[in-house]
Amino acid sequence: EVQLQASGGGLVQAGGSLRLSCVASGFTFDDYSIGWFRQAPGKQREGISNILISDGTTKYEDSVKGRFTISSDKSKGTVYLDMNNLKPEDTAVYFCAAEFGFLGPLWGSSSSYEHWGRGTLVTVSS
């Protein structure tokens, strides 16, 4: 059974940092892409980053480029999202998702991913 467990959310002041973790199990980690999404109240879920585990290729949505970094630890089956210089508009529930193979330009679409974990809340105060 595929399982994804996101953690690391919390309350942080603007300009601060957080590290989110997504622990994956139940599938061959190397064969998958892992995406991070977020959903703010009243807004649609948006894809913010993706990593192809096999070769480490990464993607970022424009609003997080230069502030967020996605990485993976194959030995732990874990994907991280390091978030720096956080802004109040980054406040949202953050989710990780997994899909087999390379997603190309569809990496940011929630419909591209079959497997989802529960979200973790990130709140950035001004």
Confidence band (pLDDT; 50, 70, 90) for 86?
very high
pLDDT tens-digit series, residues 12-37: 999 999 999 999 999 999 999 999 99
The pLDDT value given to residue 110? 97
The pLDDT value given to residue 107? 97
**Residue linked to tokens 């599938």:** 27
Compute the residue count for the chain. Answer: 126
What average pLDDT does this structure show over 45-53? 98
The pLDDT value given to residue 18? 98
**N-term to C-term CA, the chain:** 40
Q: Which amino acid is at 76?
A: K
**Residue linked to tokens 């529930």:** 93
Among 1, 24, 19, CA closest to 122: 19
